[in-house]
Amino acid sequence: MKVAVIGGGAAGFFAAISSKQHHPEAEVILFEKGYKLLSKVKVSGGGRCNVTHACFDGNQLTKHYPRGEKFLKKAFGQFSTTDTVEWFETRGVELKTEEDGRMFPITDHSQTIINCLTDKASQLGVRLELQNAVLYIDRIENGFNLSLKDETHFFVNKIIVATGGSPKLEGFEWLRELGHKIEPPVPSLFTFNMPEEKIKELMGVVVENATIKVQGTKLKQSGPLLITHWGMSGPAILKTSAWGARILSDLNYNFKIQVNWLGEAKENDVRSLIQEQQANHHKRMVVNRNPFGLPARLWEFLLQKNELRDNITWGEIGQKGINKLVNTLLNDVYEVKGKTTFKEEFVTCGGIALSEVSNSTMESKIVPGLYFAGEVMDIDGITGGFNFQSAWTTGFIAGKLLNGSSI
């Protein structure tokens, strides 16, 4: 059996290694269009490679995927985070968990992961074809004819497509021509630009738990929020961008958000805290006594936004002032105009429609013998190691080349 794995990223390597492990007799050739292998692994996690996330319950794990949640449920039953940790450990790479659940190699170096994958592939006899893109796939009897960039053709019995995301629909044309439906690609994981908002002056300020709502939609996410010199970032914003990738693209990245600076706090909670200040601290200046635990620079900014003068006391604030303050704390509106990529880290929402892929084998339901792995499918996760986890899982399963057809 000849197997072509197309794409030398995380999913492609895992698929090639898994093919050789499950079918030692097979000839496995990995085609990579670039001259470097595993280039995203190299730069990932700030050069440390956030391999996976310490979430060991399959059902919980799927909740971190805006696209692919249902599809991955079954797949994680075959290869999950526990398997990833074990897989690397038994090949000499120990992983550690950071406070927020992200898992990295203990060396803090992505090269450790690259060395592990390339060494294993070489030991098993995976053949690597660098700088040789697969341009076209023809279905022929018992297999496929690949047209390669170097103008040669190559016959294989099975193909695993692991070519990653593509920002443009044209990038999927060769797969669409095989009969596959493509969910149009749009970016996910980006930060919000607010060119006209003064809040940018507070760059560097972090709020531990804010809730973001996108006006006119059902999008709502909570988490830490970071003010940057071009707008807002941090987990609350990145999660909103991931879950709302398609909606925000339709809005052409021009929309308004409502920020609840106090996370999930409700009006009654805020009013009773204010009453307490008025009863017990009526002579203290509002600017100096901030009962909500917000960063001082933000508290000052929100008071100025409501034209509450610098030296006003809790006793002097008045009903009108209280109402304005409550509204700003819970429903502060900002205009978003455009987006910026988060630390160059992004994933594509969209790709091969999951309805046409088996979630127990990764085989195409349209073209028998053709398999998919990784981000080329309409699967993407939020930040934290979830994107690599789906690449390992789907690569491992695709490499098993089940289904028994024409082996």
Ligand X SMILES: Cc1cc2nc3c(=O)[nH]c(=O)nc-3n(C[C@H](O)[C@H](O)[C@H](O)COP(=O)(O)OP(=O)(O)OC[C@H]3O[C@@H](n4cnc5c(N)ncnc54)[C@H](O)[C@@H]3O)c2cc1C
Q: Which residues make up the interface to ligand X (CB under 6 A)?
A: 6-12, 31-34, 39-40, 43-45, 49-50, 133-134, 162-164, 344-347, 374-376, 385-388, 391
> What is the Cα–Cα distance from 5 to 20, expressed in whole angstroms?
11
Residue 65 C-beta: closest distance to ligand X, Å: 11
Residue 395 C-beta: closest distance to ligand X, Å: 7
When the beta carbons of 133 and 407 are compared against ligand X, the nearer one is 133
Residue 165 C-beta: closest distance to ligand X, Å: 6
When the beta carbons of 49 and 93 are compared against ligand X, the nearer one is 49
> What is the Cα–Cα distance from 89 to 105, expressed in whole angstroms?
10
> What is the Cα–Cα distance from 404 to 175, expressed in whole angstroms?
23
Residue 60 C-beta: closest distance to ligand X, Å: 16
The DSSP annotation for 170-238 comes to GGGHHHHTTT--EEEEEEESEEEE-TT-GGGGGTT-EEEEEEEEETTS--EEEEEEEE-SSEEESHHHH
When the beta carbons of 328 and 394 are compared against ligand X, the nearer one is 394
Residue 151 C-beta: closest distance to ligand X, Å: 14
When the beta carbons of 8 and 143 are compared against ligand X, the nearer one is 8
Task: Give the distance from CA 223 to its chain's centroid.
Answer: 16
The residues pairing with 159 across neighbouring beta strands, listed in sequence order, are 4, 370
Residue 374 C-beta: closest distance to ligand X, Å: 2
When the beta carbons of 192 and 388 are compared against ligand X, the nearer one is 388
**Secondary structure letter of residue 364 according to DSSP:** B
The DSSP annotation for 105-151 comes to ETT--HHHHHHHHHHHHHHHT-EEETT--EEEEEEETTEEEEEETTS
- Judge whether 104 and 95 are in contact, CB under 8 Å: yes
Residue 368 C-beta: closest distance to ligand X, Å: 21
When the beta carbons of 18 and 44 are compared against ligand X, the nearer one is 44
When the beta carbons of 152 and 319 are compared against ligand X, the nearer one is 152
Quick check: helix, strand or coil at residue 160?
strand
Q: End-to-end CA distance of the chain, in Å?
A: 6
**Residue 15, number of CB atoms within 10 A of its CB:** 36
- Judge whether 165 and 183 are in contact, CB under 8 Å: no
Residue 357 C-beta: closest distance to ligand X, Å: 14
Kindly report the length of the chain: 407
When the beta carbons of 32 and 197 are compared against ligand X, the nearer one is 32
